Structure 1
Amino acid sequence: MNFKSNSEVNSIPILNSSNYGEWVARITILLRSKDLLDVCEKPIPSDRSTTATNKWSKSSFDEISIITCQVNNQVFIEVVKQFSTNVHLIWKKLKEQYASKKAVNRGRVWMQWIIFAYNGDLQSYIDNSRMLMMALETINITVPNEFHSFSLLGKLTGDPKMHSYVKVLALNEDLIKDPELIHAKLQEFHDNSSSQQKSSSTPASALISESAHPQKITYFCLNGKHNSMPPCRNNKRKNQASARLSAAQALITGKQDLIQPQELIIDCGATHHMFNSLRCFTSLSKTPDIRVSTGDSASTLLSTGIGTVVSLCGNQSLSLENSLFIPILNCNLVSLLALSQNNIVIHRENEHFSLKTNNFGIIKGKITNNVMRIEYSIPENHLTTTALNPWHER
């Protein structure tokens, strides 16, 4: 059996002093799939026949070949070299070296977690923190989930780009209870940021002047026609949006708000509808950054796109135009005033309400903590990933 040419082997990371948890999990899956795990975990039985023993030895050498290729020089010298003909002893020694519960080993792993720091690369931070937490679990170091979560967020507070987002996550009690939910929200933030960077990396325009004092070139709309060349005076800059979010709206502390996208919050103070996922939009255009006021003078939200969201609320189909895309928003907000230009009638009965508008008819929902919530879903034919289109796309 030729493993060296197998891509499965190449997917196993090189074992070093800090990634044993991930390494052993991956290589165990591979060996089990090849029916070779017993060869590692058990010595050669003395009562086997010569044929069976030869087959066992052949499998043992195959595994030694795999392990040798997937460890660094230090591990090879300390462990593999002295047991180069017995895979069972190699496997046992690796476990003693990196997964034992001895004080020295536990201290080594714990110190790695303590000195672990954020270096500006969020994806690397997410991956490495997961690997270190796996190492802690491997040697049975028990740390309360809340401590893990606050530690993950605390290492990010020095980054100005992450500060406001970290603050929102840290105030959510249900989210803090599970470090994996923190990882999921950080991954979502990273993916949204990467998507925005890719969409904004367009080729430089030939109209850019290289002089010391370049002149701004302005194109006007003439003869009743709109000139799509930026910056057009008719669409020079969007008005800044205002969302006077109360504490109950800006910092919704419920697990459903953060990890289930099937809920909308009715906001009576917002000037625009606001959504935190590209998947919600049927069309979306990149805009100059729109700063959204939250009522807290120390922090603002940043919208990078505007478009249309189509959602189903019960039997009602809502087409929400001029919706803002705000990646770090905790929950999706629907502006009460933007739902209708005319009359709006709200009827409340205990913990339920119905909202009647001229544009969409009657919308029903629930009230919890004095916040109006409506359940929604994205129509199947609109369930696609929308890319940010450049502003004034030509």
Structure 2
Amino acid sequence: MNVELSARGLCEVCHSYVPSSSDPSSLIEWHQENIEAAQIILSHLHQEISISIVVGIKVKSAKALWSKITIKFSSKTFTNRGRTWVQWECPKFTRKIEEYIKECSKILFDIAGIGISLPPDIMAYSILGKISQDRSKYDHFIDSMVLSMNSNINTQQILDKLSELIRNKNTRRDCQKNTIKEENGSRPYSLPQTNFHIN
């Protein structure tokens, strides 16, 4: 994020509000840079994290976004690093995979924010290790991911693949439900059998 902002000459707009200059062209240029910087900042945040950052910011301001991120992740103390890492290690995988994906994304963002750096493949293996607690459901997924891993693998790829797996499962489940409904609706109605007795 810092590299991209610097490369585009947008660092200054992240630390300043609307200039007091009465020159219309200067104001237009500042607003354009502000929008571009804000878009870059948000593009580097996971969706769930960007929502938590944007909440409470009335105006889409690069400075406001940057300030909130700085406040959230300014502490790189030993205590904060330890607390964040414990959060990553403690959560156990549950059958609610969607919640697990959101929680992983949130903690990974915190880890990056306080400067904890580990090889991406190790972090990816950590995620696979957690979901291996339910191998009956994810055994094939884990094996396929391990076999396809390369030096460029990272946690986001694992989480994206997990999300894709869940979407596909939900789609198949919905299709099966619709098929059953259609089959039940197309069955002809038959009168109940009645036994007549003639005396």
The TM-score range, normalised by the shorter chain, is: 0.5 to 0.7
Task: Confirm whether residue 183 of structure 1 aligns to residue 159 of structure 2.
Answer: yes
1:203 deviates by: 3.6
Change (3 A) 1:165 1:206: closer
SS across alignment from 1:101: coil
Q: Which structure has the greater CA radius of gyration?
A: 1
1:165 deviates by: 1.4
1:205 deviates by: 7.1
Residue 172 (structure 1) aligns with: 148
**What is the identity percentage for the equivalent residue pairs of Structure 1 and Structure 2?**
20
- Is the CA contact (8 Å cut-off) linking 1:101 and 1:140 kept in structure 2? yes
> What is the alpha-carbon distance in structure 2 between the residues aligned to residue 130 and residue 122 of structure 1?
12
- Is the CA contact (8 Å cut-off) linking 1:156 and 1:163 kept in structure 2? no
Residue 163 (structure 1) aligns with: 139
Spell out the pairing of 1:243-322 with structure 2 (5 A cutoff). none
1:27 deviates by: 2.1
> What is the alpha-carbon distance in structure 2 between the residues aligned to residue 101 and residue 28 of structure 1?
23
CA deviations 1:228-259 (Å, max 9, x no partner) are: 97xxxxxxxxxxxxxxxxxxxxxxxxxxxxxx
> What is the alpha-carbon distance in structure 2 between the residues aligned to residue 103 and residue 111 of structure 1?
12
1:169 deviates by: 0.4
Q: 2:108 aligns with which of 133, 140, 144?
A: 133
Aligned length: 137
Q: Which runs of 5+ in 2 are unaligned?
A: 1-47, 188-199
> What is the alpha-carbon distance in structure 2 between the residues aligned to residue 35 and residue 165 of structure 1?
40
More strand by share: 1
> What is the alpha-carbon distance in structure 2 between the residues aligned to residue 119 and residue 112 of structure 1?
15
1:164 deviates by: 1.5
- Is the CA contact (8 Å cut-off) linking 1:22 and 1:131 kept in structure 2? yes
Residue 199 (structure 1) aligns with: 175
> What is the alpha-carbon distance in structure 1 between the residues aligned to residue 120 and residue 62 of structure 2?
36
CA deviations 1:282-314 (Å, max 9, x no partner) are: xxxxxxxxxxxxxxxxxxxxxxxxxxxxxxxxx
Q: Which amino acid aligns with 2:84?
A: V
Q: Which amino acid aligns with 1:145?
A: P
More helix by share: 2
Residue 33 (structure 1) aligns with: 60
- Is the CA contact (8 Å cut-off) linking 1:175 and 1:182 kept in structure 2? no
Residue 84 (structure 2) aligns with: 109
CA deviations 1:90-145 (Å, max 9, x no partner) are: x69x927x640111111110000001221111211112111110010111111110
> What is the alpha-carbon distance in structure 1 between the residues aligned to residue 61 and residue 144 of structure 2?
46
> What is the alpha-carbon distance in structure 2 between the residues aligned to residue 109 and residue 179 of structure 1?
17
Q: Which runs of 5+ in 1 are unaligned?
A: 1-20, 42-90, 208-227, 230-394
> What is the alpha-carbon distance in structure 2 between the residues aligned to residue 162 and residue 102 of structure 1?
37
Provide the TM-score with structure 2 as the length reference: 0.57
- Is the CA contact (8 Å cut-off) linking 1:150 and 1:176 kept in structure 2? no
> What is the alpha-carbon distance in structure 1 between the residues aligned to residue 78 and residue 144 of structure 2?
37
Provide the TM-score with structure 1 as the length reference: 0.30
> What is the alpha-carbon distance in structure 2 between the residues aligned to residue 123 and residue 109 of structure 1?
21
Residue 216 (structure 1) aligns with: none
- Is the CA contact (8 Å cut-off) linking 1:146 and 1:177 kept in structure 2? yes
SS across alignment from 2:88: helix
Q: What is the Cα-based RMSD across aligned positions, in Å?
A: 3.6
Structure 1 segments (4+ residues) deviating >4 Å: 28-32, 204-207
Residue 147 (structure 1) aligns with: 122
Change (3 A) 1:137 1:25: farther
- Is the CA contact (8 Å cut-off) linking 2:93 and 2:100 kept in structure 1? yes
Name which structure has the greater RCO, CA cutoff 8 Å, separation 6+.
2
- Is the CA contact (8 Å cut-off) linking 1:106 and 1:141 kept in structure 2? yes
> What is the alpha-carbon distance in structure 2 between the residues aligned to residue 169 and residue 151 of structure 1?
13
Q: Which amino acid aligns with 1:101?
A: K
- Is the CA contact (8 Å cut-off) linking 1:99 and 1:105 kept in structure 2? no
Residue 22 (structure 1) aligns with: 49
SS across alignment from 1:126: helix
CA deviations 1:196-252 (Å, max 9, x no partner) are: 111122349779xxxxxxxxxxxxxxxxxxxx97xxxxxxxxxxxxxxxxxxxxxxx
> What is the alpha-carbon distance in structure 1 between the residues aligned to residue 166 and residue 80 of structure 2?
33
1:153 deviates by: 0.7
